[in-house]
Structure 1
Amino acid sequence: MTIEEPRAEDFAPGRPVLFRDATVLSMDPSVGLLERGDVLVRGERIERVGRDLQAPDDAVVVDCSGGILMPGMVDTHRHMWQTALRGLGADWTLSQYFVFYYLNWGKIFRPEDIHAGNLLSGLEAIDAGVTTTVDWSHGLQTPEHGDAAVAALRGVPGRFVLAYGNLLGAPWEWANSPEFRAFVDRNFSARDDMLGLQLAFDVTGDDAFPEKGAFEAARELGLPVTTHAGVWGATDDNGIRLMWDHGFMTPDVTYVHSATLSEDSYHRIAASGGTVSVSAESEHNAGQGYPPTWRLRRHGIPVSLSMDTSVWFSADLFSAMRATLSADRTREHMAAHAGGETVVHHRLRARDVVEWATIGGAGVLGLSDTIGSLTPGKKADLVLLKNDRSPAMYPVLHPYGHVVYQATRADVHTVLVNGTVVKYAHELVGVDLDRARTAVAATVEHARATMGEDAWREAVEPQIPETELISNPYTYSKYRGEGVAVRHEEA
C-alpha cells in the first residue's frame, strides 16, 4: 500500500484511490460537509464517503490535509473552438464579436482549426477542475468540421457534450440534411456518457419561426437544445413566445444568458421546466445584459454556470463563481440603495454558486444521477484543491467561500474523471500539451495570414471613438494657503 507522496504512475487503471483527511464538499445533502473526511474511489465510481475509512491493501492513498475535495465542476456553455484565438477579443463588445465571427472571419476556420481549439480547450478545462464541458460548437460549417470537433473531444480525458451548431448556416436546413444525419450516425450511434450530443442554435424572433424545423429535428433525434436567449440586440421575448406557442419549450432546453427577458418569458421558462446557463463574466463585459441570477432565483429556474469563450474571458469556473456571486450581490445592494435602504443579509450564499458549478450543471445536462456530487455509486469526477505553496490556501475556515473567493485554477492539485487520474500534483497526466500548442500555433498563423495584418491589429485593438470630456471646474491651478484648491473663476 502506497502511503506517502504517490507518483503519477502509481495510479494504475482499476487501482483503488483513497483521498484521506480532506475538507469534503460533497454537494449531497445526505452526506453533507465533512471535516477531515475521506473518499474511496474504485474503478469508475465513488465507493464510500466518510471518516477514517479503511484503505484497501492495494489502494493509493492521497494525503489531502489542508485541502478541499469537491465534485468536478460542470461548464454548460463554452465555445471551445474559439480557444485557438485566446484573448484576442479582450476589448471587444458583443457587436464586435458578431462582426468578427459571423460576418468576417468565422468562415476561415478549417476542420483542423476546430480540432486545435477543442483540443487546447479540453485540456485547459480539466486542468482547472472542470470535468464536464458543453462544447457550444457553432463553428461547424460542415460535418467534417464536426468530425474534427468530436476527434478532439475524444482525445482529451474529460467528459464532454458536443452542442452542434453552425453560425454560418440555417439550423432548419443543416439539422435536417442527410450529411448531418450521417454525422450523428457516424459518431453517436452508441450511448456514451463521456460524450453527449445536443443541438445549438438561436431563435431570432422572426414571426415565420423558421427555427421550427431545427426543433423538430432535435425532437426526432431525441436531442436537447441549447440556445442563446435574452441577449441584448440579438434574441428577445419574441423568440421565447414563438417557442412557447409552437410547443418547443420543454425541460430539455437550456437558455444561455437569458439576461434581457421580460417577466412573462421567465414565467414561461419556469413553467416549462427549462434551465439557464449564466456566463457572468461575459454578460458583464460583452453586453448581453446584467447577469440574471436574482430573477432566476425568484422564479425558481435551475441555474448552471459557464465561461462562454476564451477569445474573451478566463477559462475556469472559479472566475465564473466569483463573478456570479458578486453580480447578484451588487444588484441587491444597488436596488436597496435606490430605495434608501441597506442590505444587512445576503440572500445568495457562496455555497449556492458552488452548487450551480457542480450539481447544478449536472442537473441541467440530465446527469445529476451520474455526476455532480460526491455520492457513493456516482461516477468518480472529483477535484482536490490543495496548494501548500500558496499562502491563500490557509487557513480554510469557510470552505464554500474559500472555493469561490480564495482558490484559483493554480490550486487544482488532483482531478479525476470517470475514476481516472487526469491531473496529479498540479500536472496533467497522460496528455500531450505540446501537440495541442503546435496545432493552435498553426491555426493562429493561418488566421493571421488570411486576415492580413491590418485586420489582425484591428481585432486586437478595436478603435475607440472620440468622446467629449466634461469640463472640471475644480482643476488645480493655484492655491490659497496650503492644500486648498480654488475654482478657475475665483482665481
Structure 2
Amino acid sequence: MSANPDHGVPHDHDDRPKVFRNGTVLTMDDSRTVLTNADVLVVGDSIDAVGEGLDVPEGTIEIDATGGIVMPGMIDTHRHMWQTAMRGYGADWTLTQYFVWYYLEHGKTFRPEDIHAGNLLSAVEALDAGVTTSVDWSHGLQTADHADAAVDALEAVPGRFVLAYGNIQQGPWEWSHSPEFRDFVNRRMHRSEMLGFQMAFDVTGDPAFPEKAAFEAARELGATVTTHAGVWGATNDDGIRLMHEHGFMQPGTVYVHAATLSPDSYHRIAATGGSVSVSTESESSCGQGYPSTYTLRSYDIPVSLSMDTSVWWSGDLFSAMRSTLNADRAREHHEAHALGDTVTHCHLRADQVVDWATRGGARALGMESLVGSLEVGKKADVVLVKNDASPAMFPLLNPYGHVAFQAQRGDVHTVVVNGRIVKHDHRLVGIDLPAVRHQVEQTVEHLRSTLGEEAWNHGMNPDVPETTILDNPYQYTDYSSSATHQV
C-alpha cells in the first residue's frame, strides 16, 4: 500500500484508481510481453495504463507488487459449482459412482437453497484463488426455483460468471422448451458483462438426435452450447457427428473433456471453430479418457482449463496448470519411449498453460475483447501473486514457470474484478465468510439427514455400486450403444 496514510486500506466498494507498483507483469498480450518492475493502473472498471513508473491520479490506491507477479484474472470454463458444499466428499469415487450419486440418486434431493449454498461457496472460493471468471456448469437446475437460487448466489459475489443452464434429471429437448425455462431466461439472463449465459447439455449419440430441439432453442435464444464430449462410456463420436450433420457445431461451442474422440471428430471441432475445456485433474482421476491437450495440440484446437467439481478436486487453476503440464509431458515421453525415442525438448511450455488459464478461457467464452490479458481498455480483472512470508516465492526467475509450478492459492495477495478489490493482503474483502459457512453447514446437514448416517458414510467409502446403469448415465433416455459395454 502507499505510504500516504490518507490513502487508507481499500474496501470492496472503493472506486478510487488503483495501481500495482513494481511487479513482474505478465500481460498475456499477443506477444506474451513480460515487464519487470512495472505498474498496472486501474481507473474505474478498466485498465488505464501498463508500464514502468506510471504517473497516477491524486488519491490513487497503491499496491506494492515488488517481488510478485501481476497477471490477468484466471478463467474457469467448466465448474459444477452447485456441488461445492460437498467439497472432497467424493475423493475416492470413480466417474460411475459420481453418476450414481448425482444423476441417479442423491442429486435429486438438492433443494434450491442447496444450489445457492454450493454456488455461493464456489464463487467465493474462485475469487480467493484468483479465478475472476467462472462458468457455472449448472446441471442441477431441476426447477426454475433452483435456477433462481443459482443466479442469486452468483449475483451476491463480486466475480464475473457465466450461468450454463442444465438439468440432468430431464431430457434437454424437454427442459429447453418448457415455459418455466423460457420465463427464467426472460427474467434473469440479460447478458451483462458480469453474468453471461450458456446452455449445458450432452449428446448421447442416439441416431434420432432428440437433442436437436435443445440446439434449436439455444440458437433461438442466441446462447452458445457447452457439452461434455468424448467421455468414455457416456458421449462419443456419434454425438459429434450428429451435431455436425445437423449444423449445430458452431464457433463458440465448448466441448468439455473431449478425451476419447476419433480424428474425424477432432477435425470437425477444429473446422467449425469450437474449443475444448480440459479438466486434467478430473480426466486423470475418474476416467473420461487421458487428458486431451497432447492430442488437441496436433489439431490446433483452442484450449481452456477447468476444475470440474470440488466434490473431488481443488478449486484453483494453479492445480489445473500444473496437472496439465504434467499429463501432457508424460504422454509425450511415453509416446516417444514406445518408439524407442527420447524427448529432448518439451513441446508444451509453461507460458502456454498460463495462456490457457487466462486468455484461453476468454477466447472460449467470446470475452477476449473484455478480459484475459492486461491491456489498456480491457476490464480490470487483475491478480497479484505475492507472498513475502513464503520461501517458495523467491527467487523469481521464470515467471511463467513460477505461476504454473510454484505458486498456489495461498500466494494470491490481491484480486481485482471489474476494477473492484475483492481480495487484499491474502484476505477476502467485503465477503461474509461466516454467513457462507452457515449456509453450507445447513446443506450438509440436510443431505446427511436425508440420506441417513449409514448411507452418508458409505458414500465417502464406496464399493461397487448396487445401482445398475447402462453405458451412459442419462436416465431420461433409453438409448444405449455398444461403445463400451452393455448391461
Instruction: Report SS of the residue matched to 1:9.
Output: coil
AA partner of residue 83 (structure 1): T
AA partner of residue 275 (structure 1): S
Give the 5 Å matches for 1:141-156.
141-156=142-157
Q: Could you tell me which residue of structure 1 aligns to residue 483 of structure 2?
A: none
AA partner of residue 446 (structure 1): H
Q: Could you tell me which residue of structure 1 aligns to residue 366 of structure 2?
A: 366
Q: Summarize deviations over 1:46-97 as a string: whole Å, max 9, x none.
A: 0000111112211111111000000000000000000011111000000000
CA displacement at 1:441 relative to structure 2: 0.4
Q: Does 1:388 align with 2:388?
A: yes
AA partner of residue 44 (structure 2): G
Paired with 2:79 and 2:26, the residues of 1 have a C-alpha distance of 25
Q: Could you tell me which residue of structure 2 aligns to residue 95 of structure 1?
A: 96
CA contact (8 A) 1:4 1:62 kept: no
TM-score by length of 1: 0.93
Q: Summarize deviations over 1:265-292 as a string: whole Å, max 9, x none.
A: 0000000000100000000001000001
Q: Summarize deviations over 1:242-273 as a string: whole Å, max 9, x none.
A: 00111100112100000000000000000000
AA partner of residue 158 (structure 1): G
Q: Could you tell me which residue of structure 1 aligns to residue 472 of structure 2?
A: none
**Distance change in 2, residues 1:202/1:395 (3 Å):** same
Q: Does 1:37 align with 2:38?
A: yes
Q: Does 1:50 align with 2:39?
A: no
Instruction: Report SS of the residue matched to 1:430.
Output: coil
Paired with 1:38 and 1:31, the residues of 2 have a C-alpha distance of 16
Instruction: Report SS of the residue matched to 2:49.
Output: strand
CA displacement at 1:10 relative to structure 2: 5.9
Q: Summarize deviations over 1:356-410 as a string: whole Å, max 9, x none.
A: 0000000000000000000000000010000000000001100000000000000
Paired with 1:262 and 1:151, the residues of 2 have a C-alpha distance of 40
Paired with 1:312 and 1:292, the residues of 2 have a C-alpha distance of 20
Q: Could you tell me which residue of structure 2 aligns to residue 124 of structure 1?
A: 125
CA displacement at 1:455 relative to structure 2: 1.4
AA partner of residue 400 (structure 1): Y
CA contact (8 A) 2:41 2:49 kept: yes
Paired with 2:27 and 2:36, the residues of 1 have a C-alpha distance of 11
Q: Could you tell me which residue of structure 2 aligns to residue 316 of structure 1?
A: 316
Paired with 1:8 and 1:232, the residues of 2 have a C-alpha distance of 51
Paired with 1:278 and 1:4, the residues of 2 have a C-alpha distance of 45
Paired with 2:16 and 2:445, the residues of 1 have a C-alpha distance of 43
**Distance change in 2, residues 1:369/1:302 (3 Å):** same
Paired with 1:290 and 1:25, the residues of 2 have a C-alpha distance of 30
Instruction: Report SS of the residue matched to 1:157.
Output: coil
**Distance change in 2, residues 1:232/1:110 (3 Å):** same
AA partner of residue 223 (structure 1): A
Paired with 2:8 and 2:26, the residues of 1 have a C-alpha distance of 25
Paired with 1:156 and 1:12, the residues of 2 have a C-alpha distance of 13
**Distance change in 2, residues 1:286/1:23 (3 Å):** same
**Distance change in 2, residues 1:53/1:298 (3 Å):** same
Q: Could you tell me which residue of structure 2 aligns to residue 247 of structure 1?
A: 247
Q: Summarize deviations over 1:24-64 as a string: whole Å, max 9, x none.
A: 00001357100111100000000000111112211111111
Instruction: Report SS of the residue matched to 1:368.
Output: coil
Q: Could you tell me which residue of structure 2 aligns to residue 483 of structure 1?
A: none
Instruction: Report SS of the residue matched to 1:38.
Output: strand
CA contact (8 A) 1:27 1:71 kept: yes
Q: Could you tell me which residue of structure 1 aligns to residue 165 of structure 2?
A: 164
Q: Could you tell me which residue of structure 2 aligns to residue 213 of structure 1?
A: 213
Q: Could you tell me which residue of structure 1 aligns to residue 115 of structure 2?
A: 114
CA contact (8 A) 2:46 2:378 kept: yes
Q: Does 1:298 align with 2:269?
A: no
Paired with 2:111 and 2:383, the residues of 1 have a C-alpha distance of 34
Q: Could you tell me which residue of structure 2 aligns to residue 437 of structure 1?
A: 437
AA partner of residue 93 (structure 2): W
Q: Could you tell me which residue of structure 2 aligns to residue 62 of structure 1?
A: 63
Q: Could you tell me which residue of structure 1 aligns to residue 347 of structure 2?
A: 347
CA displacement at 1:446 relative to structure 2: 0.5
AA partner of residue 249 (structure 2): M
Q: Could you tell me which residue of structure 2 aligns to residue 425 of structure 1?
A: 425
**Distance change in 2, residues 1:388/1:99 (3 Å):** same
Bigger Rg, structure 1 or 2 = 1
Give the 5 Å matches for 1:442-481.
442-463=442-463
Q: Could you tell me which residue of structure 2 aligns to residue 25 of structure 1?
A: 26
AA partner of residue 331 (structure 2): R
Residues matched between the structures, number: 464
Paired with 2:442 and 2:376, the residues of 1 have a C-alpha distance of 44
Q: Summarize deviations over 1:180-227 as a string: whole Å, max 9, x none.
A: 000001102x33110011000000000000000000000000000000
AA partner of residue 441 (structure 2): A
CA RMSD of aligned residues (A): 1.4
CA displacement at 1:13 relative to structure 2: 3.0
Q: Summarize deviations over 1:301-320 as a string: whole Å, max 9, x none.
A: 11000000000100000000
Q: Could you tell me which residue of structure 1 aligns to residue 410 of structure 2?
A: 410
Unaligned ranges ≥5, structure 1? 466-491
Q: Could you tell me which residue of structure 2 aligns to residue 484 of structure 1?
A: none
Instruction: Report SS of the residue matched to 2:10.
Output: helix
Paired with 1:10 and 1:428, the residues of 2 have a C-alpha distance of 10
Q: Could you tell me which residue of structure 2 aligns to residue 194 of structure 1?
A: 194
Q: Could you tell me which residue of structure 1 aligns to residue 265 of structure 2?
A: 265
CA contact (8 A) 1:225 1:253 kept: yes
Instruction: Report SS of the residue matched to 2:248.
Output: coil
AA partner of residue 321 (structure 2): M
CA contact (8 A) 1:31 1:375 kept: no
Instruction: Report SS of the residue matched to 2:152.
Output: helix
CA displacement at 1:435 relative to structure 2: 1.0
AA partner of residue 371 (structure 2): I
AA partner of residue 285 (structure 2): N
Instruction: Report SS of the residue matched to 2:458.
Output: helix
CA displacement at 1:464 relative to structure 2: 7.0
Instruction: Report SS of the residue matched to 1:115.
Output: helix
Instruction: Report SS of the residue matched to 1:387.
Output: coil
AA partner of residue 296 (structure 1): L
Q: Summarize deviations over 1:164-189 as a string: whole Å, max 9, x none.
A: 0001011111111111000001102x
CA displacement at 1:457 relative to structure 2: 1.4
Paired with 1:383 and 1:365, the residues of 2 have a C-alpha distance of 20
CA contact (8 A) 2:120 2:154 kept: yes
Paired with 1:144 and 1:254, the residues of 2 have a C-alpha distance of 26
Paired with 2:191 and 2:162, the residues of 1 have a C-alpha distance of 12
AA partner of residue 380 (structure 1): A
CA displacement at 1:14 relative to structure 2: 2.4
Paired with 1:137 and 1:401, the residues of 2 have a C-alpha distance of 33
TM-score by length of 2: 0.94
Paired with 1:248 and 1:383, the residues of 2 have a C-alpha distance of 36
Q: Does 1:222 align with 2:254?
A: no
Q: Could you tell me which residue of structure 2 aligns to residue 473 of structure 1?
A: none
CA contact (8 A) 1:4 1:61 kept: no
Instruction: Report SS of the residue matched to 2:244.
Output: helix
CA contact (8 A) 1:3 1:60 kept: no
AA partner of residue 211 (structure 2): E
